[in-house]
Amino acid sequence: MKRFVDLADFRRDEVLALLDLARSLQAHPQPQALAGKILGLLFFNPSLRTLASFQAAMARLGGSSFVITPGEGSWRLETRLGAVMDADAAEHVREGIPVLASYCDALGIRAFAACKDLNDDLSETVFNAMADLVAKPLINLESAANHPCQALADWKTLDDFAVPQNGKFVLSWAYHPRALPLAVPAAVLHMAAMRGMQVVVLRPDGYALPRTIMDKAARAAAVAGGTLQETSDRAAALAGAHVVYAKEWGATAPYGDAEADAHLRSTLRDWCVRDSWFATTRVDCRLMHCLPVRRNTAIADEVLDGPRSIVQHEAHNRLVVQMAVLHQMLQGV
């Protein structure tokens, strides 16, 4: 494996093999598998899970890692092509990224959406320009419109809790005080569709997922024998659900207009997931969220601290599946 940037780049049987490898590494650790290998981690945005779990994954396989956070202990990096660099950035990614890649065996990059131009973000303009500079194996640590490591961990989590392959998966918008990127909803939607689930996107008006994201997921659902719907009808969406996956994202109509978005979401405080949301779901319905989550804003304490929440297991699976990605990418190379 040379690149892990989008789960959609892999066939379903390849994802299942990767999940088998993850389970195998979990049951039978290989503490020397990546001895002598180095992972570089370049974070343009904050992280708790991705940063810690990738470092831990390399260490557990006998390798090591280094972390660069531009502007925090290292030079601020410019990403715009053709920029006149007379402001804060001391170095351009065109120099910085090849240098970093030359020090390691694989490089991971996190670069969130700018959340200004929807087409730019959906086209992954910034991430792809940086990816073109990496001659080594590359991992997407969350780009403008994708988070494949989260999606893979979520697939394993569904398997771990024996959620049926064709179970009802509700991806529900949840309240946040400001607009967040589309990366996780897009990646998780695709994962559930590719798994063959009955997928429902539940969101208020103004927050419909972009057509390109929905069409891509619909194609994956068709291949896997699943279904895909989108609705703002909470009661209909939640009825019979096996899983509620809560996630916050910014308004897509309008996109990138913080004032209009703030006005739209000012009436949506009741999109905080509470116990009452589970009145008509399956009794054993699970609650998932990629974390970080704002308590009593996106999800109430009563749900996060209750038995249906599997967010801790989900976060732990980041470590497990990323060991599999690194193993497949670097072992024997």
Of 37, 49, 60, 265, which one interacts with ligand CP (CB under 6 A)? Answer: 49
- The reply on whether position 83 binds ligand CP by CB under 6 A is no
Of 271, 276, 249, the closest CA to residue 261 belongs to 249
Comparing C-alpha atoms, which of 175, 46, 57 is closest to residue 106? 57
Rounded least distance, CB 289 to ligand CP, Å? 9
> Which residue's Cβ lies closest to ligand CP?
50
User: What's the CA gap between 227 and 118, in Å, rounded?
Assistant: 26
Which residues ranging from 144 to 173 are in contact with ligand CP (CB under 6 A)?
150
In this complex, which beta carbon is closest to ligand CP, that of residue 225 or of residue 292? Answer: 292
| Binding map of ligand CP across residues 95-134, x = CB under 6 A, - = no contact | ----------------------------------------
C-alpha 160/C-alpha 312 separation (Å) is 13
Query: Least CB distance from residue 290 to ligand CP, whole Å?
Result: 4
| Contact stretch for ligand CP (CB under 6 A) within 26-34, 45-53, 114-122, 210-218 | 45-53
Contact in structure between 228 and 199 (CB atoms under 8 Å): yes
Choices 29-37, 42-50, 94-102, 218-226 (CB under 6 A): range interacting with ligand CP? 42-50
Q: Is 41 in the site for ligand CP (CB under 6 A)?
A: no
| Cβ at position 315, least distance to ligand CP in Å | 7
Give the shortest CB-308-to-ligand CP separation in angstroms. Answer: 19
Number of residues engaging ligand CP in binding (CB under 6 A): 9
Contacts (CB under 6 A) with ligand CP, residues 193-232: none
Nearer to ligand CP, 58 or 264 (CB): 58
Q: Would you say 184 and 290 are in contact if contact means Cβ atoms under 8 Å apart? A: yes
- Min dist CB 314 to ligand CP, Å, is 9
Q: Residue 258, Cα to own-chain centre: how many angstroms?
A: 23
Nearer to ligand CP, 108 or 206 (CB): 108
Q: Report, in Å, the least distance between residue 246 CB and ligand CP.
A: 13
Residues 6+ apart with CB under 8 A from 193: 199, 217, 218, 220, 221, 224, 226, 228
In terms of Cβ atoms closer than 10 Å to its own Cβ (0-12, 13-18, 19+), residue 292 is exposed
Task: Find the binding residues for ligand CP in span 229-268 (CB under 6 A).
Answer: none
* By CB under 6 A, residue 47 contacts ligand CP: yes
99 token code pair: 């240098």
In the complex with ligand CP, which residue's Cβ is closer, 47 or 331? 47
Give the x-and-dash track for 285-324 against ligand CP (CB under 6 A).
Answer: -----xxx--------------------------------
Q: Does 48 bind ligand CP (CB under 6 A)?
A: yes
> Can residue 16 be called a binding residue for ligand CP (CB under 6 A)?
no
Q: Where does this chain bind ligand CP (CB under 6 A)?
A: 47-50, 142, 150, 290-292
